[in-house]
Structure 1
Amino acid sequence: MRAVLMDVDGTMIDSYPGVVASYLAALEQVGASHPEAKPLRQVLGPPMVESFAEAGVVGADIEKARQAYMDAYRADGWTNASAYEGVGDFLQAMKDQQVVLATATSKGDFFTRKVLERAGLLDFFDVVATAGIPGVREFPTKADVVGDAVAQVRAVAAARGLDADEPIDFVMVGDRHHDISGAKTHGIDTVAATWGYGDEAEWAMARARAKDFSELGRVIDGLW
């Protein structure tokens, strides 16, 4: 069995406008500002609290900023996003090959589902692995999210009759170093999505790279 784990922001969805606007609004609420040396696009990828900390937000203001971000994102930030060209065709091609598809994103569960549903992509996925639901089930790091995705894929495999000792070939697709290192923790190779928000140094960490979705399928086939 084969499985592809997909990051969301910067890989399937261009969510830059809504995420960045919500992030900047949150910083303003706590009297902080974005570090000039850090490109704004790199806010996307890691858990948002990491970006707040890098902006100098500390102590109780971290939670205030997180709540302000969620308020802004919930209001209209999540709708200010669009699917990258070719993603639907790629996901359909994977389904046609009987590949198990899973998300592996540091986005929360609620908005992952909302954003993917709005883009017409949610139904492609056998597994939706996310940062979880606050106070219920949380996965604070990308490695934690990938681990949950792997466990859920194995459950899908078992439900389809795959023996427990039969291997599953996993590939991760993501645009940031968090995706690559999180997958490596579980021995999974990553294809860097170079249309996303990372940079050359991050993409160099990956096993392979693709410039768009039309190339991605061929790159994954080469890894398998």
Structure 2
Amino acid sequence: MPTDASGDVPVDARADVPAEATAGVTADAQADAPAEVPADDAPVTAEELLAEVRSCRQISQGKYRTDANSAKATVPVCATTDAVFWKADMDIDCDGRRTKVCNKKTDPYFQPQTAFTSSRGKPLDSAALPFVVVPAPSRTWDYRKSGLTGGSVVAVIYEGKVRYAVIGDTGPAGIIGEGSYALAEELSIDPHPTTGGAASGVTYIAFKDSRISPIESRATAESRGEELARAFVGR
């Protein structure tokens, strides 16, 4: 029988193994292998969303500061056909319903109301509801003219994570980049209203004409957000 170059192993050794034996091994291996999740059924990834917002068609008349003491205004509001987006930091909004973590003691700037209210007319609970804060309307940008309002769905991306929130409050007209205590927690950002937040690297993608009701339904925001994100990335 022919051997390999070393003269030790018969070249045709595998030919002597019964076909049934190898077939069984192959079948078992296939049965044990985890089934691949079709791409269309997998959640939309941060990479997919970020690929759609690499370039900016600026719609704001100027730029925003990320904090009141920022030296320069550096953040533009950009738009695509279906969404508005900005890339900024995340300050923590603890306004609205008083809770153990959001009150005058934990946050000296605490306000007991939010610009948008729950289905029962009550202030939103920033400790329980992931929401985004948009700048109050100004000459720089008016979110209402971009098809956005309270309850509009927003995809928020940070360090590879994607979470879906709603627009729930408005902030100073010249500052952008703020989310609720609950949203920060979802993104593994320190949610403390005075010492927490993220200095940079947060992308906000607000989908036009996407208002959900009731605004406080996290499940609705998540399911609608995933649906909108799939359309946004072309799935």
TM-score (norm 2): 0.25
Q: Which of 1 and 2 has greater Rg? A: 2
Which has more helix, going by share of residues?
A: 1
TM-score (norm 1): 0.26
Which has more strand, going by share of residues?
A: 2
